[in-house]
Structure 1
Amino acid sequence: MIETALATLLSPVVLFFCLGLVAALLRSPMTIPEAFAKGLAIYLMRAIGLKGGVAMASSPPTVEMFAVFAIAIILSFLLPAIAFLFLRMTSRVSRTDAAATAAHYGSISIVTFVAATQLLSSSGVESSGYMVAVAAVMEAPAIITALLLVSIGEKRKAPVAGSEKGELFREVLLNASVLVLVGALIVGAIVGDKGMDQVSAFFVDPFQGVLCLFLLDMGLSAGRGLRQGWRQLDLAALGFGIYMPLVSASLAAAASLLMGLNAGDATLLMVLAASASYIAVPAAMRLALPEAKPSIYLTLSLGVTFPFNIAIGIPLYLAAAQWLQTIG
Structure 2
Amino acid sequence: MNYNLLINNLTNPTLLFFALGVLASLVKSDLEIPPSTSKFISLYLLFSIGFKGGQELAHSGLNREIIVTLLLSISLATVVPMYTFFLLKTRLSVENAGAIAATYGSVSAVTFVTATLFLDSLKVNYGGHMVASMALMEAPAIIIGVMLMRKYGTQTGNDHGMGSIVHESLTNGSVFMIVGSLVIGIIADVKGAEGIKPFTTDIFKGFLAIFLLEMGMVAARRFSAFKNYGWFVTLFAIIIPIVNGLMSVIITHYMGIHPGNRLLIAILAASASYIAVPAAMKQAAPQADPGLYVPMALGLTFPFNITIGLPFYWLVIQSF
Shared topology, TM-score over 0.5?
yes
Written as runs of structure 1 = structure 2, the 5 A alignment for 1:164-243 is: 168-191=165-188, 193-227=190-224, 229-230=225-226, 232-243=228-239
Q: Which moved more, 1:236-245 or 1:132-141?
A: 236-245
Which residue type is aligned with residue 16 of structure 1?
A: F
Indicate the residue corresponding to 2:12 in structure 1.
11
Relative to structure 1, is the Cα distance of residues 16 and 279 closer, same or farther in structure 2, using a 3 angstrom cutoff? closer
Give the match for residue 21 of structure 2.
Answer: 20
- Secondary structure of the structure 1 residue equivalent to 2:188: helix
Task: Name the CA shift for 1:327/1:303 in 2 (closer, same or farther; >3 Å).
Answer: same
Q: Deviations over 1:128-158 (max 9, x none)?
A: 243212322232234556778x69xxxx9x9
Counterpart AA for 2:132: Y
Q: TM-score, normalised by structure 2?
A: 0.75
Name the residue aligned to 2:132: 130
Equivalent-residue separation in structure 1 for 2:144 and 2:162 (angstroms): 20
Question: After the TM superposition, which residues 53-132 of structure 1 pair with which residues of structure 2 at under 5 Å, given as runs?
Answer: 53-68=54-69, 69-70=71-72, 72-73=74-75, 76-82=78-84, 84-85=86-87, 88=90, 93=91, 97=93, 99-108=94-103, 113-119=108-114, 127-128=128-129, 129-131=131-133, 132=135
Counterpart residue identity of residue 139, structure 2: A
SS at match of 1:140: helix
Quote the residue 1:289 is aligned against: none
Equivalence for 1:246: 242
Q: Which amino acid aligns with 1:114?
A: A
How far has the Cα of 1:6 moved from its partner? Answer: 1.6
SS in 2 for 1:107: helix
Contact 1:16 1:215 in 2 (8 A): yes
Structure 2 CA distance for aligned equivalents of residues 213 and 80 of structure 1: 31
Report the alpha carbon displacement of residue 18 of structure 1 after superposing the two structures with TM. 1.4
Aligned to 1:304: 296
Q: CA deviation at 1:299?
A: 3.3
* Distance 1:38-1:327 versus aligned 2 partners, 3 A rule: farther
Tell me if the contact between 2:241 and 2:270 (Cα under 8 Å) persists in the aligned partners.
yes
Q: Contact 1:20–1:219 at 8 Å: present in 2 too?
A: yes
How many residues are paired up? 305
CA drift of 1:62 comes to 4.1
Q: Which ranges of structure 2 fall in alignment gaps of 5 or more residues? A: 121-125
Segment of structure 1 superposing worse, 9-18 or 188-197 = 188-197
The Cα of 1:126 is off from its aligned counterpart by 5.3
> 1:226 Cα shift?
0.7
Q: Which runs of 5+ in 1 are unaligned?
A: 287-292
Query: CA 1:36 to 1:196, structure 2 compared with 1: closer, same or farther past 3 Å?
Result: same
Shift of 1:315: 5.7
On the 8 A contact 1:105/1:301 being kept in 2, the answer is yes
Q: Write the deviation string for residues 186-215 of structure 1: whole angstroms up to 9, x where unpaired.
A: 222223543332122222221222221111
State the secondary structure of the residue aligned to 2:102: coil
Matched residues in 2 for 1:282 and 1:212: separation?
A: 17
1:255 correspondence with 2:257 = no
CA distance in 2, matches of 1:273, 1:106: 12
Cα 1:55–1:237 change in 2 (3 A) is closer
Q: Secondary structure at the match of 2:202?
A: coil
Report the TM-score, using the length of structure 1 for normalisation: 0.74
Alpha carbons 1:135, 1:272 under 8 Å: kept: no
| Identity level (%) | 21
Greater alpha carbon shift after TM alignment, 71-80 vs 42-51: 71-80
Instruction: Give the AA of the match of 1:4.
Output: L
CA RMSD of aligned residues (A): 3.8
Q: Distance in 2 between matches of 1:310 and 1:50?
A: 24
The 1-side partners of 2:95 and 2:22 are apart by 24
